[in-house]
A = this chain, B = another copy of it.
């Protein structure tokens, strides 16, 4: 399975870059995020993870997710007071939160637009990252 190997290589590279260790748990969590890109919470990831790895603890899920974020393989998304969601889509995009279904959608935006925002910052404001959250309804 070519894509599995690609994932593995991506993960190995990113993790070793940070001087960390490659573990079955980290691989498992990464695959879960890539297999179903529905912006799950840590708890939802935990439930899925236990399917094929029943001994995995919730603490490990949090640890692994934090590692993936630190390695730049995954983004965190926060809507209101809800729990953190995780997104493995690394292309620049906004997040649309449907108030009816609760679902979260990735919305690709023009790169120019994102550059524009950066350009409109006052002098001395250095941008490291941006998150565009849109509340609304789909359908």
Q: Point out residues on A near B: beta carbons under 8 Å.
A: 76, 78-81, 84, 94, 96, 99, 105, 107, 109-110, 113, 116-117, 120-122, 124-139
Contact = CB atoms under 8 A, between A and B. Distances in A.
Contacts of A107: 120-122, 125
Given A138-B124, A138-B125, A132 B117 contact: yes
Nearest to A81: B84
Contact of A109 (B81, B117, B135, B137): B117
A7 B32 CA distance: 51
A56 B52 CA distance: 51
Looking at chain A's contact residues, the main secondary structure is strand
B128 A136 contact: yes
